[in-house]
């Protein structure tokens, strides 16, 4: 069983998510927004952030599969579950777990903009700037982290560890040369 070294504990995450919710509530005061939760990794962050936002919101989900090996995205992205309703004329906030190379969000933003929303912004819990391949503007950011592979709070490795209540660094066994 691989080790998980704690990086951000549940209280630290909860406090930051509440702040992000307050910021979003201030910025969109008087408006209605659609929260687009990116599956699967953002289901925990999305659930907490949604409850920290004091605005009329609707919630939709977008399932993405980003091809690559275990820990690296290739930039080839497939929509596995599409939004349930058109978003033309709506304010969208995309809720993402982590921006790593930026390839997934770059694809996603290009795709969403073709649907004629009034605005599209990004709320990401984590960002790994050291790994940027395509710069992506993160409007609401939880935490900047180093180039480490994290699990927990919705994030997986091979579909496991999503239920771990904190964020930790997964120590993977050495790969054979
Ligand atoms: P990007 O396209 O920005 O390279 O990758 C974004 C996606 O890769 C994230 O939505 C996430 O699914 C996955 N990813 C990137 N870094 C990590 C990480 O440290 N841990 C986990 N569990 N997934 C990651």
Sheet holding 167-170, edge to edge: 4-8, 167-170, 150-151
- 167 in a domain, yes or no? no
User: Is residue 160 a part of any domain in this protein?
Assistant: no
pLDDT number for residue 177: 62
Residue 21 lies in a domain: yes
Confidence at residue 72, expressed as pLDDT on a 0 to 100 scale: 65
Range of the domain at 55: 10-150
- What is the count of structural domains for the chain? 1
User: Which atom of ligand 1 is the closest one to the Cα of 75?
Assistant: 2
What is the rounded distance in angstroms from the CA atom of residue 38 to the CA atom of residue 106?
13
Domain CATH number, residue 29: 3.40.50.2020
- Expressed in angstroms and rounded, the spacing between residue 143 Cα and the centre of ligand 1 is 14
| pLDDT for the residue numbered 23 | 98
Ligand 1 centre distance from Cα of residue 29 (Å): 31
Query: Is 156 contained in some domain?
Result: no
Asked whether residue 19 is domain-assigned, the answer is yes
11 tagged catalytic: no
Q: What is the distance between the alpha carbons of residues 59 and 47, in angstroms, rounded to a whole number? A: 10
pLDDT value of position 171: 85
Residue 64: inside a domain:
yes
Query: Mean pLDDT for each 10-residue chunk of the chain (177 residues)?
Result: 91 98 98 97 98 98 79 77 97 97 93 97 97 94 96 96 96 72
């Amino acid at each position: 069983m691989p080790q998980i070294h704690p990086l951000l504990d549940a209280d630290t995450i909860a406090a930051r998510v509440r702040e992000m919710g307050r910021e979003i509530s201030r910025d969109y005061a008087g408006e209605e927004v659609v929260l687009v939760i990116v599956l699967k990794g953002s289901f925990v962050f999305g659930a907490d952030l949604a409850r920290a936002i004091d605005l009329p919101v609707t919630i939709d989900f977008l399932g993405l599969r980003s091809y690559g090996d275990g820990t690296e995205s290739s930039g080839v992205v497939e929509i596995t579950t599409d939004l349930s309703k058109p978003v033309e004329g709506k304010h969208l906030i995309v809720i993402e777990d982590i921006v790593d190379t930026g390839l997934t969000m770059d694809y996603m933003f290009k795709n969403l903009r073709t649907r004629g929303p009034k605005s599209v912004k990004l709320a990401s819990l984590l960002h790994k700037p050291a790994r940027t391949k395509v710069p992506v503007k993160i409007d609401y950011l939880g935490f900047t982290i180093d180039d480490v592979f994290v699990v927990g709070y919705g994030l997986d490795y091979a579909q496991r560890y999503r239920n771990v209540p904190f964020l930790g660094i997964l120590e993977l066994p050495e790969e054979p040369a």
